[in-house]
């Protein structure tokens, strides 16, 4: 597929997916969703790709759904953001959002779907849906409380107010805040750290955290125990077959 609304590149085991609709502040359209889905399929199938970075460049991450695209299209506009977050949810390799400028509404929901988030000092977050009589529908009401706690989440969702990168860091929405000029450099450094780890271990870790948080503690512990046993058996079998420590 030839991309018009995103770019996709690989660099030392790291795939970089960049939303590329600067005139529309990277608003998410049905076309962008289709192209992101295709890029995610590429990255998932490519054994050279160990980590995925999702970004919108230095100016804007994403201002949310494109309210003009898909109008009258039988819900295609609304379904576009669901397609992207569902694709990221199913993506088994580590994902990092590099956020600069606006990350509003669906754009913030997209960033939250990634495993880790780095923000530039110019980043602005928010859930403005309530100001228009709507609510975040692509995971914001569920992921935000899990990331920042119920009280913080309700404050951000109920007020619809925008907040800066330092506030996002304070409440635990982002992992790190860096100067805008070094955002991609710092994100790539983090990606390289993850890319150096054993892929199967990262896959199991991600699965245990994402699935386990939906369970009670006893069930989660049992789930993790079984996953650890499967991973150990896989590593032992691979080593025995190839005579090398599996990566």
- Look at residue 240 in the predicted model and tell me its pLDDT: 58
Q: Is 233's pLDDT higher than 90?
A: no
> Beta-carbon neighbour count of residue 208 at 10 Å?
19
Cα-based angle 10, 12, 17 (whole degrees, multiple of 5): 30
Give the pLDDT confidence of 99-155 residue by residue, as tens digits: 999 999 999 999 999 999 999 999 999 999 999 998 998 999 999 999 999 999 999
CA distance 75 to 70: 7
Q: Give this prediction's pTM.
A: 0.90
One of 35, 47, 109, 185 is an active-site residue; which one?
A: 109
Residues 6+ apart with CB under 8 A from 221: none
Number of folded domains in the chain?
2
- Look at residue 12 in the predicted model and tell me its pLDDT: 92
Residues 108 and 205 grouped into a single domain: no
Give the pLDDT confidence of 209-228 residue by residue, as tens digits: 999 999 999 999 999 999 99
Split at pLDDT 50, 70, 90, the class of 236 is: low
Q: Is 109 a catalytic residue?
A: yes
- Look at residue 39 in the predicted model and tell me its pLDDT: 96
Residues 204 and 190 grouped into a single domain: no
**Residue 210 counted as domain residue:** yes
Residues 119 and 168 grouped into a single domain: yes
Cα-based angle 36, 110, 11 (whole degrees, multiple of 5): 55
Q: Is 239's pLDDT higher than 80?
A: no
**Residue 247 counted as domain residue:** no
Residues 85 and 131 grouped into a single domain: yes
Task: Print burial letters for 46-78: b (CB count within 10 Å at least 16), e (below 16).
Answer: eeebbbbbbbbbeebbbbbbbeebbeeeeebbe
Task: Print burial letters for 140-158: b (CB count within 10 Å at least 16), e (below 16).
Answer: bbebbbeebeeebbeebbe
One of 129, 155, 181, 186 is an active-site residue; which one?
A: 129
Rg (CA), the chain: 19
Residues 106 and 206 grouped into a single domain: no
């Amino acid at each position: 597929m030839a991309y018009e609304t995103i770019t996709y590149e690989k660099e030392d085991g790291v795939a970089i997916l960049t939303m590329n609709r600067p005139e529309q502040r990277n608003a998410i359209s049905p076309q962008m969703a289709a192209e992101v889905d295709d890029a995610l399929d590429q990255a998932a199938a490519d054994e050279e790709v160990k980590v995925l970075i999702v970004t919108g460049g230095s100016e804007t991450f994403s201002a949310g759904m494109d309210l003009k695209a898909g109008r009258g299209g039988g819900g295609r506009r609304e379904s576009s953001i669901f397609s992207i977050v569902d694709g990221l949810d199913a993506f088994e390799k580590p994902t990092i959002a590099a956020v600069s400028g606006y990350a509003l509404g669906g754009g913030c929901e997209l960033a939250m779907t990634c495993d880790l988030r780095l923000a530039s000092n110019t980043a602005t977050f928010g859930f403005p849906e309530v100001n228009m009589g709507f609510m975040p529908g692509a995971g914001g009401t569920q992921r935000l409380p899990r990331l920042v706690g119920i009280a913080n989440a309700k404050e951000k969702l109920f007020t619809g107010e925008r907040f800066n990168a330092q506030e996002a860091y304070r409440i635990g929405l982002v992992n790190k805040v860096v100067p805008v000029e070094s955002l991609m450099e710092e994100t790539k450094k983090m990606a390289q750290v993850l890319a150096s780890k054993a892929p199967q271990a990262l896959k199991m870790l991600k699965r245990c955290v994402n699935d386990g948080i939906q369970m009670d503690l006893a069930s989660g512990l049992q789930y993790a125990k079984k996953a650890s046993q499967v991973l150990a058996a896989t590593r032992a079998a691979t080593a025995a077959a190839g005579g090398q420590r599996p990566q």
